[in-house]
Amino acid sequence: MIRNREQLIRNGWTTRDRRARRLCLDALQRALNAVNPYHCVLSRVKIREKKLLLGDLSVSLPDFQRIVLLSVGKASSSMMAAGLRVFRGFPVHGILVAPVGHKIPKFPDIVEVFHTGHPIPDLAGIKASRRVKELVSGLREVDLLVCLISGGASALLPAPVRGIALSDLRKTTQSLIASTANIHEINTVRRHISNLKGGRLVDSCQASRILSLIVSDVPGNSIPDIGSGLTSEDPTSFADATNVLKEHGLWNSTPSAIRHHLMLGLRGAIPETPKPGDPRFRHVSNFIIADNGTASTAAARALALKQLPTTILTTSAEMDAESMGRFLVSVASENRHRAFIVGGETTVHVAIRGVGGRNQHTALSSVEGLSNLDGACLAALASDGVDGTSSAAGAIVDGRTASRAEKKRLDPRKFLTENDSYRFFKALRDNITTGPTGTNVGDIYLAMSL
């Protein structure tokens, strides 16, 4: 899946550097394999004697006249394929919502397919949202709704409330992504301007049972933040959404329609999203079937098999990308013959719009710190295969990267300032390239010193 693995290994100047790169890339590949959504669904969901078994849950399938599969996110295609296999022989109808550009295999006519915009919502996403709302609102007690949710669902199903135009939604989304707001803050706003997010999908659904199988891309696995909580109660409020925009200096530039809607919510003129303890969610069950911990554990096991002691420091990191880069340098330089894994998601303040993403920015932040550390290696990878505005998934750095950059007259600090990490690593041929992976569990950072 890492398409340029051999080139990335050859870029190491010394035998030790090449070995470090190989270990690093192979561990990342194992991480991606472990969160293959198709296999994750099939390993968790079983049907025996016409009963669906999932964790401690047992559901009698003959009790339902129809099973509706709603698959949305970057892993939607694989999850739908797995769902159709699980429910083979039962009356099934499906809706699949995937990002524009993702290759979708030929599904039977019982599956409606939508390609919509990500990370910025588009008109196709509005149309998909309307169709999902229509279908879900038509379900009755004799129906079972199975939601297959993965990262990216928030943008793919924008579902703006009445009065908010697509252009308003696009501008606000772009502003939030370009700010230092974290995913929890961004999704707090999204939940309060949508008629599906923040549990509103459940609001409009009369199915007697709703099951959600979730591939988590959110640090800490906060279900209200994964896809902005389509089937989860919302612990945040209109006041929280308003505060996010104000604290990040975005309130005054936010479109008036969105500000008006949030102000109506603050005054109690429109209802809040469903809150924890809401009795309407008694028939809803949410299951995390893969997350950053799944990927990080697989990477750690791969390194352990190569006799390199490995520590997973956390799988829910949330910090500035440059701080992450400096932190990884410190653990690599202070702990020889060890590897360290961090999972989570960083933020980048975009001052000048170059080409790159938070993973390549993190890697670029480590170049000077790793300089001349023989056998040191650091990699940052977006598990969905798409890092920011670039075509790369991430980047890899070793102790000779700074010297190689100097020979090409590449100044890491200049590229950092210009948010142009992709072009820096492209010049060195050190971007990690996977293409869309069909999964998304956040980012994986690996630092080692042999």
For the stretch 285-344, pLDDT in tens is 999 999 999 999 999 999 999 999 999 999 999 999 999 999 999 999 999 999 999 999
Mean pLDDT of 271-288: 96
Q: What is the pLDDT of residues 237-249, one digit of tens each?
A: 999 999 999 999 9
Q: Is residue 185 part of a domain?
A: no
Q: What is the pLDDT of residues 364-389, one digit of tens each?
A: 999 999 999 999 999 999 999 999 99
Residues 357 and 285 in one domain: no
Q: What is the pLDDT of residues 51-62, one digit of tens each?
A: 999 989 999 999
* Banded model confidence at residue 349, pLDDT cuts 50, 70, 90: confident
* Domain CATH code at residue 223: 3.40.50.10180
* Banded model confidence at residue 434, pLDDT cuts 50, 70, 90: very high
Q: Is residue 244 part of a domain?
A: no
Last residue of a domain, one of 290, 317, 334: 290
Residues 58 and 15 in one domain: no
- Give the pLDDT of residue 301: 98
Residues 24 and 108 in one domain: no
Residues 321 and 425 in one domain: yes
Q: Beta partners for 340?
A: 311, 447
Mean pLDDT of 128-153: 96
Residues 307 and 391 in one domain: yes
pLDDT at 213 over 90: yes
* Banded model confidence at residue 180, pLDDT cuts 50, 70, 90: confident
Q: Is residue 188 part of a domain?
A: no
Residues 117 and 210 in one domain: yes
Backbone phi and psi for residue 94, each to the nearest 5 degrees, phi listed first = -135, 150
Q: CB-based burial of residue 89 (10 Å sphere; 0-12 exposed, 13-18 middle, 19+ buried)?
A: exposed
Residues 208 and 284 in one domain: yes
Question: Whole-number mean pLDDT of the chain?
Answer: 96
The Cα–Cα gap between 435 and 391 comes to 7
Residues 304 and 364 in one domain: yes
Q: What is the pLDDT of residues 78-105, one digit of tens each?
A: 999 999 999 999 999 999 999 998 889 9
Q: Answer whether 0.85 is exceeded by the pTM.
A: yes
Q: Is residue 87 part of a domain?
A: yes
Question: Structure tokens of 140?
Answer: 């009755």
Q: What is the DSSP string of 220-287?
A: GG-GGGGGGTTTS-----HHHHHHHHHHTT-TTTS-HHHHHHHHHHHTTSSPPPP-TT-GGGTTEEEE
Domain of 46, in residue numbers = 37-159+194-236+273-290
Would you give the DSSP letter of residue 185? H
Q: Is residue 109 part of a domain?
A: yes
* Domain CATH code at residue 435: 3.40.1480.10
Q: What is the pLDDT of residues 260-269, one digit of tens each?
A: 999 999 999 9
Residues 142 and 11 in one domain: no
Residue of 102, 108, 57 whose CA lies nearest to 84: 108
- Give the pLDDT of residue 284: 97
- Is the C-alpha dihedral spanning 398, 400, 402, 404 positive or negative? negative
Residues 359 and 423 in one domain: yes
Q: Is residue 265 part of a domain?
A: no
Please say whether the beta carbons of 61 and 211 come within 8 A: no
Residues 9 and 101 in one domain: no
The Cα–Cα gap between 323 and 341 comes to 15
The Cα–Cα gap between 242 and 237 comes to 9
The Cα–Cα gap between 106 and 128 comes to 19
Q: What is the pLDDT of residues 151-163, one digit of tens each?
A: 999 999 999 999 9
Residues 52 and 102 in one domain: yes
Would you give the DSSP letter of residue 387? -
pLDDT at 432 over 80: yes
- Give the pLDDT of residue 102: 87
Beta-carbon count within 10 A of 203 CB = 17
Share of the chain above pLDDT 70, in %: 100
Q: Is residue 396 part of a domain?
A: yes
Question: Structure tokens of 234?
Answer: 């919302």
Please say whether the beta carbons of 154 and 190 come within 8 A: yes
Q: Is residue 18 part of a domain?
A: yes
Q: What is the pLDDT of residues 218-227, one digit of tens each?
A: 999 999 999 9
Domain count, the chain: 2
Q: What is the pLDDT of residues 18-32, one digit of tens each?
A: 999 999 999 999 999
